[in-house]
Amino acid sequence: MRILNFGSLNIDHVYSVEHIARPGETLASSSYEVFAGGKGANQSAALGRAGAPVYHAGLVGSDGAWLIDKLVTAGVDMRFTGQAEKGVTGHALIQVEEESGQNSIVLYPGCNHAVSKARIKAVIEEFSNGDILLLQNEISELPYLIEQGSARGMSVCLNPAPMTPAVLDYPLDRIDILIVNETEAAALAASVEDPRERRAQLFSTPALDTPSAQSPRSAPVGQLMSRLQQVAPRARLLLTLGERGAVYRGDGSERTVGAVPTAVVDTTGAGDTFVGYFIASVAEGLSTAAALRRAAAAAALCVSRAGAMDSIPLGDEVETTLGPPPGPAPSGGAS
């Protein structure tokens, strides 16, 4: 089973700040660094470091050739990534709070939005029934990608981040695995109530970032998962909850995993690390419980370090953190 990640490649400009800048405020940064990033690239790096057979497809500009080398070093096959004739590589401006490690990100898509249907079709034809197609929401032609991957018999996994109104119009009935955080889940779940009115509300107010009594984000997790199942009826669902862990529903069962306690340095890339390690574990044939446990351990290691792609752990580090798998419970009494 091979994994094709058709996703973004970005250059991350990271600024350490006392707090996230408020509207109209000018802040001095205590440090500035440049990293490889993009949700697509980060998830490919996580897959590669987890030891999965991953291929990354996408576009960079003339300023982004080093990103290809970076991912090759992480164990990613980059034969399906090319250089755009025009435009610059996508990039992100990231503020990271020094004390909490929380971040704020502004994206410029660059040539991530130059991916064409012709390119998609040519790449998809190299894969076959049973392979995995992993997608985020940082490149162009996502509906076409979903349709082509599904028609090819691939298992389509969507992580609709960053969440935009367009996602509500994607062919979500063709998604096999849907991975969302609370903000993304709230937007998708609310569309079940009144698609036209809720679309306008969700993307024009701070409701997603400030839970209220009426916000789906404040709804019980079970209710939220049920609404998501209506949006993507055939999908296995994975809801990530940050420091509260994650919830999985699929194959007639529901499982939860707690976050692994750690000292948080930088949360950038944690979600991508979780996604990459989870999908790598699924492709490897691990049980859902083992896949969740492995992904949580990888994400914990990620947030304990600075940066996005550079903070993604190697598979051996994750296995060391996990320790030996739990054995059977002891039987019998004391002698």
DSSP state of 162: S
pTM score, whole prediction: 0.86
**Residue-wise pLDDT tens digits, 275-331:** 999 999 999 999 999 999 999 999 999 999 987 798 999 999 999 999 876 655 455
Tokens in use for 29?
A: 């940064």
Task: Say if CB 227 and CB 216 are below 8 A apart.
Answer: yes
**Residue-wise pLDDT tens digits, 171-211:** 999 999 999 999 999 999 888 776 555 555 555 544 333 33
Q: What is the mean pLDDT of the chain?
A: 90
Tokens in use for 272?
A: 């991508």
For residue 18, which phi and psi values (nearest 5 degrees)?
Answer: -65, -40
Q: Measure Cα distances from 16 to 31, 63, 217 in Å.
A: 5, 24, 29
Model confidence at 216, in pLDDT bands (50, 70, 90)?
Answer: very low
Please say if the pLDDT value at position 118 is more than 90.
yes
Domains of the chain: 3-19+31-322 (3.40.1190.20)
Q: What is the C-alpha end-to-end distance of the chain, expressed in Å?
A: 49
- Predicted local confidence at residue 192, as pLDDT: 79
